[in-house]
Amino acid sequence: MKTIIKYSFIIFSILVNFNLAMAQVENPDTAQVPFHKETDLNSELNKFGLKTLEFPTGDYCERKGSPMTRRDNILTPKFPSDSLVIDRILGDTTYKDWAKTPGDINIFWIHGLNGSTESLRVPAQATQFGTTDFPARKATSWRGPTSSSSNAIQFYSEDGGITPAVGDMENNATVLVPASSRTNRDFIIAHSQGGIVGREWLRKMDQAPNMYQNFAHGLVTIGTPHGGAQVLNQTRPELENKIPDFMGEACKALAKEAVVPLANSNFATQLLISNDMVKKLVNKSCGVIANSIIPLALDNYFKRTTRDFYVGSPFLEGSNNAGAHTQGLNEYTLNVPVVQFYGEEEQPILWKFLSSTMSIGHDILDNKQMEFGYDQDDQMEKKVNDMIDEYYAKFVYESHQENHFHNLEIAYYSAAAIHCLGAFFMPLTTAGVVTVDIYNAVKASAAKNAAIENKNAYDGAKVWLSNANDYYLTDLIGARVTQVAINCRIIEDLECRDAVKNPIGSGVPAVKIKVDRNYNTTAACKPQPISIAYSNYHFKGFDNTEWHGPCTGTQTIISTWKNTYYYKPNDGVVLMESASKDISVNTNNGENTHAFFKLENTNHDQMKNCVKTKKGLLKLYNGELGGFFKIEIR
């Protein structure tokens, strides 16, 4: 029973992970504290036109004196020295002064795939009202209507694609933010898919001003797959569609660990249920799960918005229809300041990401409600390591059982043979003894075979769990890159002559030289012919001085190769190269900046409410990632 529970736990965890994983992985929790007679109180307040969580709009703080104008110093531009993006700011350092506004600026917080208006509640509320070591700013956070775990509400619909989602954002913003409270400092902070929505919203504001009001003048994205989300390519049936196979193999490996020992638990079931029957049962059941249940569990991957940001999608990269080119989002240049936050989780990424997603090993207050407390992510890793150790221990035990029952089987068959020899003297008595010996030998043989089957089942589960992180990174999010490295060893036997000191016919022998050299390539080994490589070769002659002249001889080519691989940094869902893709931003007008900031050791779910996010937002609001985003403390 214990093993069945473990098997169910792992399968359920991974299923829920993929059900929730893309860009957002939401388990929205209520922002309200329920009380006993909330309904009755609401009824009484409604008589007077009031609601329990309705507050007056406007400026909550008393302000005195006239607004001040302050010039913020921008960071010196820095650029990466390698392929990994580092913190840097691009743009003209002589940008326009950003003046304080009399009232609060507005920040639109946009959730990601399968998210709700609760997704970014903690950083949104902390920005407006403050929390420990995080002073409140002169900003009003807009994240849509208040929702809860029992009534999740989205800021935009995911059923009509990114562009219709932007229409929802426009309509909601029109209702939420009256024209009188808008400022030229308002901007967007968006997580994951929400960053794609935010970019499209800004493009519409720029290209269709008659339909879209100028709500935002800056953009901050957090873990947004600007270059596309490879996991969507792996999920969609018309593309790679690798997730069902991944889950099917997981099911088979973990189900056998639970089912095989159960079938071998006693002699009767060993005789009635063959290993082939168990195999067929597991394969059939797991096939149903992989092809029917998992696609249903992955329904979030098939929301219409996901068609617009898989890797290579026309919405991102542009398309040609009837000779006319439709501009892709990545072909559009933003005309506002931009900051891109991106995460890089440490290994093992799958289990750390699962731990965050499933809230394993810590209270929900840590990650969903407590301010910037979403940092524990090693509990799943510990549980999986414990399971791997347990499976290995059972594997060793079953190996000992195999040897034990193998020895018993031989002993009983040997005893039966010896007793058969005594049948000539005591036929009746010996016949009974032989029967018992053979029965015990058959029973020992069945126990040996059961131990072998159990051992293989435990080993299969151990191997799958040990390699699951590699499978996940390789097959599902496209993080593994395999390279073929070829080493070329060239051995050349040369006969060299100096045109003056030992030419042909001079009677002076040629200088014999052996050259042994190596080089690496990703193509075939193709060295230059000797006649070209050594047409004017410099070498030492008999007198130990430098000679020069042509050489002739033979070449021996020895090729060796091996596959090498590395993992692209990622946050468990989005590759770092995608979230930190240098999207096009107009930084030539002296006003816009473009900054990048890494959230170290942070996965896709954590970055909604963790200490690293807090650190990044503090830098943002202090103006360290661009003066436009500096917000005064209340």
- CB distance 488 to 518 below 8 Å: yes
pLDDT (tens digit, 9 = 90+) per residue, 585-627?
999 877 899 999 999 999 998 999 999 999 999 999 999 999 9
Query: Which distant-in-sequence residues (6+ apart) come within 8 Å of 55 by Cβ?
Result: none
- CB distance 126 to 135 below 8 Å: no
Q: What is the Cα–Cα distance from 357 to 351, expressed in whole angstroms?
A: 10
Q: What percent of the chain has a predicted confidence (pLDDT) above 70?
A: 69
- Tally: H helices and E strands in the chain: 18, 14
Residue 584 confidence (pLDDT): 94
Q: Pick the more confident residue, 4 or 225.
A: 225
- How many other CB atoms are there within 10 angstroms of residue 284's CB atom? 10
Does the pLDDT value for residue 124 go beyond 60? yes
Q: Tokens 């968006």 sit at which residue?
A: 190
Residue 78 confidence (pLDDT): 33
Does the pLDDT value for residue 427 go beyond 50? yes
Does the pLDDT value for residue 549 go beyond 80? yes
**By three-state DSSP, how is residue 452 classified?**
helix
Amino acid at 569: P
Q: Pick the more confident residue, 399 or 103.
A: 399
Dihedral sign for Cα 90, 204, 607, 584, please: negative
Give me the DSSP letters along 310-377: BTT-HHHH-EEETTEEEPPGGGSPB-S-EEEEEEEPPSSHHHHHHHHHHTTTS-HIIIIISTT-----
- CB distance 230 to 575 below 8 Å: yes
- CB distance 208 to 2 below 8 Å: no
Does the pLDDT value for residue 161 go beyond 90? yes
Domain boundaries along the sequence of the chain: 1-26+97-375+569-634, 382-476, 488-567
Which of the four pLDDT bands, split at 50, 70 and 90, describes residue 429? low
Q: Which residues pair with 560 in a beta bridge?
A: 487
pLDDT (tens digit, 9 = 90+) per residue, 57-108?
443 344 343 333 332 333 333 333 334 444 556 654 444 444 445 679 999 9
Q: What is the Cα–Cα distance from 292 to 273, expressed in whole angstroms?
A: 27
Which of the four pLDDT bands, split at 50, 70 and 90, describes residue 283? low
Residue 54 confidence (pLDDT): 42
Which residue stretches of 472-569 are H helix? 530-533
pLDDT (tens digit, 9 = 90+) per residue, 300-320?
567 889 999 999 999 999 998
Residue 22 confidence (pLDDT): 46
Q: Which residues pair with 127 in a beta bridge?
A: none
- CB distance 343 to 213 below 8 Å: no
| Residue 132 CA: distances (Å) to CA of 136, 291, 370, 631 | 10, 48, 11, 18
- How many other CB atoms are there within 10 angstroms of residue 398's CB atom? 22
Q: What are phi and psi of 594, to 5 degrees?
A: -140, 110
Q: How many CA atoms lie within 13 A of 377 on its CB side?
A: 28
Q: What is the Cα–Cα distance from 286 to 282, expressed in whole angstroms?
A: 6
Mean pLDDT across 502-519: 92
pLDDT (tens digit, 9 = 90+) per residue, 319-365?
988 778 999 999 999 999 999 999 999 989 988 888 887 766 555 55
pLDDT (tens digit, 9 = 90+) per residue, 598-608?
999 999 989 99
Q: What is the Cα–Cα distance from 502 to 551, expressed in whole angstroms?
A: 12
Tokens of 390: 């347990």
End-to-end CA gap in the chain: 58
Residue 414 confidence (pLDDT): 79
Q: What percent of the chain has a predicted confidence (pLDDT) above 90?
A: 39
pLDDT (tens digit, 9 = 90+) per residue, 224-280?
999 999 888 887 666 666 666 676 676 666 666 666 666 566 655 555 555 565 555
Fold for the domain defined by 1-26+97-375+569-634: Rossmann fold (3.40.50)
Give me the DSSP letters along 6-32: HHHHHHHHHHHHHHHTTTT------SS
